[in-house]
Amino acid sequence: MSGEYYLVVFEQTEQAILAQKLLADLEAMVMPTLREISVSCGLSLRLKPEHLEEARRRLRGAALSDWQIYHISFADNRLRCQLLRE
């Protein structure tokens, strides 16, 4: 479970649930939004790097609102969360 991955975070939980169905066949994994990104209890989708582009394409196509993607990695025993530019 370690190693780099991408995390899609949402402003609204309902949007996250919709997106989960949209990305189900891409092995998108439901997980809590990392505390480093938001202190609120959010529902995020974890993506493998190889599914990033397809996921992004679908999210744009579905016109889901208020989502962002972070690149999550570990370096020097620290978690790094980098917001991707859309």
Q: Which of 84, 85, 81, 82 is nearest to 36 (CA)?
A: 81
Q: How far apart are CA 45 and CA 57, in angstroms?
A: 15
- The 17-56 contact track toward another protein, x by CB under 8 A, reads x--x------x-xxxx----------x-------------
Largest CA distance in the chain: 37
Cβ atoms of 47 and 7 within 8 Å: the answer is yes
With CB under 8 A, what is the number of residues at the site for another protein? 11
Cβ nearer to another protein, comparing 1 with 63: 1
Binding segment (CB under 8 A) for another protein, from list 13-21, 48-56, 69-77, 78-86: 13-21
List residues binding another protein (CB under 8 A). Answer: 1, 13, 16-17, 20, 27, 29-32, 43
